[in-house]
Amino acid sequence: MRLTLLGTGTSMGVPQIGCDCTTCRSEDPRDRRTRTAALIEHDGIRLLVDTPPELRLQLLAAHIGRVDAVLYTHLHADHVHGIDDLRSFSLTRDDPLPLYGPAETIRHLHERFAYIFDAGVVPISGTSKPQLVTEVLTPGVPRQIAGLEVLPLAFEHGHATVFGYRVGSVAYLTDVKAVPPPARELLQGVEVLVLNALWWRSHPTHLSIDEAVETARAIGARRTFLTHLTHETAHRDLLARLPAGVEPGYDGLTIEIQEGS
């Protein structure tokens, strides 16, 4: 199994518009963070997690020309507003691309992007729109998606519900404030864990870095990668301060996981 972190930045990305801080001026490519997304691959199956505004650039950088399904974590703009970039996949598929996620997220997609899902909106001859179909997932209930078993888990994120996903030995959790004990139990045995870690200080809807480290220890994954990072933490500095087994992710990072190891 392979996990690629396509984007690892917070909602404003890094560099942040109008900012002249050290991280935003950094020449380290690991400090250039587009909005958060990931790709999970196994046995030729590709599951895309979220469609941020930079999705086209992320897919081009990772040389990804095909995905089999999309898993949405939640409805916030930095996780869904690249949905039109899925149009490219419509040109190479015989059937609509399936999208999965929480009920409120799927409802939001149909409302916010009605031109995609309204069958009455027919593209003018010579033009196109994304051909997509949506399905609601039930938290805690495993689902076969494109041939892979996916376990969706629900977490609080302010006024929204955010889904994390476990696929085999990989767990991907972003935009969560806490991982309660019942969810930790369901995540036991993962080899690779991805967790959001906004910054060092507390935040009302996101894990801080310290909270993410504590959560990683409680879950016990062999390797944990932090995502949804801001310009307050440069990659090199953050790496030096994290304990063994926990490291900052960066755009384009690919992790190979041996299933059953």
Strands 192-196 and 143-145: unpaired
Please give the pLDDT value at position 159. 83
> 101: which strand partners?
136
Tokens matching residue 74 = 């939640």
Enter the DSSP assignment of 96: P
Q: What percentage of the chain has pLDDT greater than the value 90?
A: 93
Please give the pLDDT value at position 91. 85
For the chain, the structural domain boundaries read 2-256
Kindly indicate the confidence band of residue 189, based on its pLDDT and cuts at 50, 70 and 90.
Answer: very high
Cα–Cα distance measured from residue 14 to residue 31, given in angstroms and rounded to the nearest whole number: 7
The CATH architecture assigned to 2-256 reads 4-Layer Sandwich (3.60)
* AA letter at 121: V
* AA letter at 114: A
List strand residue ranges (DSSP E) for 102-241, in order. 132-136, 143-145, 148-157, 160-167, 170-173, 192-196, 223-227
Flag whether pLDDT at 261 surpasses 70. Answer: no
Please give the pLDDT value at position 252. 98
Alpha-carbon distances, residue 37 vs 15, 108, 240 (angstroms): 17, 19, 24
Please give the pLDDT value at position 33. 98
Q: What percentage of the chain has pLDDT greater than the value 70?
A: 99
Please give the pLDDT value at position 172. 98
The sign of the CA dihedral 239, 153, 202, 190 is negative
Please give the pLDDT value at position 260. 58
CB 67 within 8 A of CB 47: yes
Enter the DSSP assignment of 122: P
| pLDDT tens string 117-160 | 999 999 999 889 999 999 999 999 999 999 999 999 999 888 88
Cα–Cα distance measured from residue 114 to residue 118, given in angstroms and rounded to the nearest whole number: 5
| pLDDT tens string 32-88 | 999 999 999 999 999 999 999 999 999 999 999 999 999 999 999 999 999 999 999
Please give the pLDDT value at position 245. 97
Phi, psi dihedral angles at 250 (to 5 degrees): -150, 155
Q: Is 162 helix (H, G, I), strand (E, B) or coil?
A: strand
The arithmetic mean of pLDDT across residues 3-25, rounded, is 98
| pLDDT tens string 90-119 | 888 999 999 999 999 999 999 999 999 999
Please give the pLDDT value at position 158. 82
Please give the pLDDT value at position 157. 84
Spatial CA neighbour of 71 closest among 92, 104, 102: 102
The mean predicted confidence, pLDDT, of the chain is 96
